[in-house]
């Protein structure tokens, strides 16, 4: 059976997360598997690089599927998108891959983006796509706080109680925070890179760093709460709508 890698983007607002759930729950995985069933009869199960929560978006999610028919990748992309309409999910690339390719286990890096907007009037065009706060933030202070999170650490403080990872010890390769000026406010973009992430880790990071940027916490407090290895020490977990699975890196890019 030929195996195909799919690069997928989606707007997470209407979905109850990525992972298939009970009947009647709209999920990204369920929508794509239903589209596959309209192309080839029988149950389909796709595996993804990461499971995003309800409200979280995908810009570069990767999944793989096995099919009976030898599809041309271009035609498979078009056929899937035709059956996914009008849901806000799209297969943006498709590639035939070796049988040992696995969207999750073959990945060597995952990248997330979080968008935070500071302004008083409610956002309109980016409604549901960013986290909005009404106060100013100190970019330099947030960068100082983020520096304490780089490297190999026990991230128990920033781990959801529902996390299924075998260990809280992870290596955070990079956190880059940039600032964009708008006439009505500013946007802060948090770009994070790591081989793997814990459940709610990015949202816990950003919620904590927002407290630093707002002046409620000193940057050095990030190191203190990290060392505490206590979930109760974490800053507030920010809402999901500003979070995007931005990309997945493999030893060999299947879509090159």
- The predicted-structure confidence for 27-79, as pLDDT tens digits, reads as follows 999 999 999 999 999 889 999 999 999 999 999 999 999 999 999 999 999 99
Whether this prediction's pTM lies above 0.85 is answered by: yes
The pLDDT assigned to 11 comes to: 97
Residue 163 pLDDT class (50, 70, 90 cuts): confident
- Residue ranges of the chain assigned to CATH 3.30.70.580: 3-106
Burial 47-67 (b: 16+ CB within 10 A, else e): ebbbbbbbbbbbbbbbbbbeb
Q: Which fold has domain 3-106?
A: Alpha-Beta Plaits (3.30.70)
- Residue ranges of the chain assigned to CATH 3.30.70.660: 109-247
Look up residue 113 and give its two tokens.
Answer: 């983006």
Mean pLDDT of the chain: 95
| Catalytic status, residue 53 | yes
Q: β-pairing, 243-249 with 185-194?
A: unpaired
Residues above pLDDT 90, as percent of the chain? 91
Instruction: Name the active-site residue from 53, 66, 138, 154.
Output: 53
Instruction: Tell me which residue of 40, 89, 92 sits closest to 67, measured CA to CA.
Output: 40
The pLDDT assigned to 42 comes to: 81
Look up residue 144 and give its two tokens.
Answer: 């100082």
CB count in 10 Å sphere of residue 38: 12
Which numeric CATH code is attached to 109-247? 3.30.70.660
Q: How many CA atoms lie within 13 A of 3 on its CB side?
A: 14
């Amino acid at each position: 059976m030929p195996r195909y890698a799919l690069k997928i983007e989606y707007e997470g607002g209407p979905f109850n997360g990525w992972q298939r759930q009970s009947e009647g729950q709209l999920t990204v995985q369920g929508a794509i598997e239903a589209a596959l069933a309209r192309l080839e009869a029988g149950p389909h199960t796709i595996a993804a690089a990461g499971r995003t929560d309800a409200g979280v978006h995908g810009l570069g999610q990767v999944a793989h599927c096995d099919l009976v028919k030898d599809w041309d990748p271009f035609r498979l992309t078009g056929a899937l998108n035709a059956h996914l309409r009008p849901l806000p999910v799209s297969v943006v690339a498709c590639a035939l891959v070796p049988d040992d390719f696995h969207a999750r286990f073959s990945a060597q890096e995952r990248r997330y983006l979080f968008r935070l907007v500071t302004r008083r009037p409610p956002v309109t065009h980016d409604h549901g796509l960013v986290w909005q706060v009404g106060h100013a933030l100190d970019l330099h202070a947030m960068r100082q706080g983020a520096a304490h999170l780089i490297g190999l650490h026990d991230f128990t403080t920033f781990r959801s109680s529902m996390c299924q990872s075998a260990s809280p010890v992870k290596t955070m390769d990079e956190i880059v925070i940039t600032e964009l000026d708008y006439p009505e406010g500013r946007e802060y973009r948090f770009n994070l890179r790591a081989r793997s992430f814990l459940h709610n880790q990015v949202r816990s990071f950003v919620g904590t760093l927002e407290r630093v940027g707002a002046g409620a916490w000193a940057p050095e407090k990030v190191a203190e709460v990290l060392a505490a290895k206590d979930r109760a020490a974490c800053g507030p977990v920010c809402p999901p709508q500003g979070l995007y699975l931005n990309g997945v890196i493999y030893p060999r890019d299947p879509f090159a």
